[in-house]
């Protein structure tokens, strides 16, 4: 199955939050900020129960990025398939830092605390998995980490499976822990929604870097306006569901009700993860080719493989042009044949 078909299957199977590159198209899908039109439910203020980044300073995000780089160096050096999400998550966090400094968020303190707790959840999940402490790990994370270890899916699959685990599973619990309502009763949903646009625009360069360093198939998908709009909408939908699940956790009236919501969150993330795994599976030969590419191009050089990536893009463009020329020739031949029949 080609990567384009894999992507389509993944979108259908898991309703994936993906913005895939469309390097050959100058068209961009219009961004419709529909989540901002959906009001938050009235949730009482709850205090932040997490110790991370107590002062909410910008230094917290800087420290997180330093730790991410340390961890990335480790997995990149081994060409681990877990390097894909480690790289992607670091690039997202760097962009969150830039967005915060640019004034995108109303409450930078809350944002810094959210960022610190979110990263720690990922670090802890990975460390527990690496140490074979599997009992407390969510099914979605086990699926993602095991698929990377066993070389079962493409780089796109690694990216999406880990993103599913971190967004669909971790994020609602994070928001419930740090609180989604300010002390004055103001909802924090505008800050949650504010990052959607930047996030939607970020994955093209991220997947391009993944292709350059780890797996040349990672950016082989080229989507038009309609598909790009669909992908952006799915990304927004994931984050909207995250917010609603956090509300459900906080509004649960009893421990049993809260536990029921938690089980539903876990089950949903597991189902999506399994759908992604099925849609992005690769044979052993594909994993071998990917590892050989990483051994040559991965390293610590973000620009490594750029010439090869440009060559692949040129080849795909030439193939499309040749296909268009063949189609035009067939249409011309059909018109000539029709004219001959009409003449007789």
| Same domain flag for 70 and 57 | yes
Q: What is the mean pLDDT of residues 180-193?
A: 96
- For 147-178, how does the pLDDT look when each residue is reduced to its tens digit (9 = 90+)? 999 999 999 999 999 999 999 999 999 999 99
Say if residue 317's pLDDT is above 90: no
Report the alpha-carbon distance of residue 327 to residue 90 in Å, rounded.
44
Q: What is the mean pLDDT of residues 259-271?
A: 98
- Angstrom distances, CA of residue 167 to CA of 17, 50, 77, 269: 9, 18, 26, 9
| Same domain flag for 298 and 314 | no
- Count the domains in the chain: 2
| Same domain flag for 111 and 208 | yes
Q: Which two tokens stand for residue 341?
A: 């029949």
Report the alpha-carbon distance of residue 151 to residue 103 in Å, rounded.
41
Say if residue 14's pLDDT is above 80: no
Provide φ and ψ at 53, rounded to 5°: 50, 55
Q: What is the mean pLDDT of residues 20-42?
A: 68
Give residue 177's pLDDT. Answer: 97
| Same domain flag for 217 and 333 | no
| Same domain flag for 293 and 158 | yes
Say if residue 87's pLDDT is above 80: yes
For 336, the domain range is 308-344
* Pick from 94-108, 149-163, 192-206: least confident: 192-206
Give residue 235's pLDDT. Answer: 83
Burial class (CB in 10 A: 0-12, 13-18, 19+), 131: exposed
| Same domain flag for 41 and 122 | yes
* Count of Cβ atoms closer than 10 Å to residue 96 Cβ: 24
| Same domain flag for 202 and 323 | no
């Amino acid at each position: 199955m080609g990567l384009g078909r894999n992507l389509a299957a993944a979108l259908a199977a898991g309703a994936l939050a993906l913005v895939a590159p469309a390097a050959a198209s100058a068209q961009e899908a219009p961004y419709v900020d529909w989540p901002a039109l959906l009001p938050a439910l009235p949730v009482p203020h709850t205090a932040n129960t997490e110790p991370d980044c107590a002062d909410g300073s910008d230094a917290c995000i800087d420290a997180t990025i330093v730790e991410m780089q340390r961890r990335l160096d480790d997995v990149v050096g081994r060409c681990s398939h877990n390097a894909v999400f480690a790289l992607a998550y670091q690039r997202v966090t760097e962009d969150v830092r830039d967005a915060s400094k640019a004034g995108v968020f109303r409450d930078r303190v809350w944002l810094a605390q959210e960022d610190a707790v979110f990263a720690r959840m990922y670090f802890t999940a990975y460390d527990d998995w690496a140490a074979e402490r599997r009992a407390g790990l969510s099914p979605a994370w086990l699926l993602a980490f095991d698929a990377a270890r066993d070389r079962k899916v493409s780089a796109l699959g690694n990216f999406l499976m880990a993103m599913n685990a971190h967004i669909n599973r971790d994020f609602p619990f994070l928001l419930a822990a740090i609180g989604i309502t300010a002390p004055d009763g103001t909802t924090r949903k505008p800050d949650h929604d504010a990052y959607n646009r930047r996030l939607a625009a970020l994955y093209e360069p991220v997947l391009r870097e993944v292709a350059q360093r780890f797996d040349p198939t990672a950016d082989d998908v080229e989507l038009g306006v309609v598909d790009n709009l669909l992908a952006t909408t799915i990304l927004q939908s994931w984050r909207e569901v995250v917010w609603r699940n956090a509300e459900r956790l906080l509004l649960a009236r009893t421990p049993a009700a809260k536990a029921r919501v938690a089980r539903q969150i876990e089950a949903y993330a597991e189902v999506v993860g399994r759908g992604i795994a099925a849609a992005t599976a690769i044979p052993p030969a594909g994993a071998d080719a990917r590892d050989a590419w990483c051994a040559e191009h991965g390293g610590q050089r973000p620009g490594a493989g750029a010439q090869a990536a440009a060559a692949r893009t040129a080849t795909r463009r030439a193939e499309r042009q040749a296909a268009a020329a063949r189609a035009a020739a067939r249409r011309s031949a059909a018109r000539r044949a029709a004219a001959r029949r009409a003449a007789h």
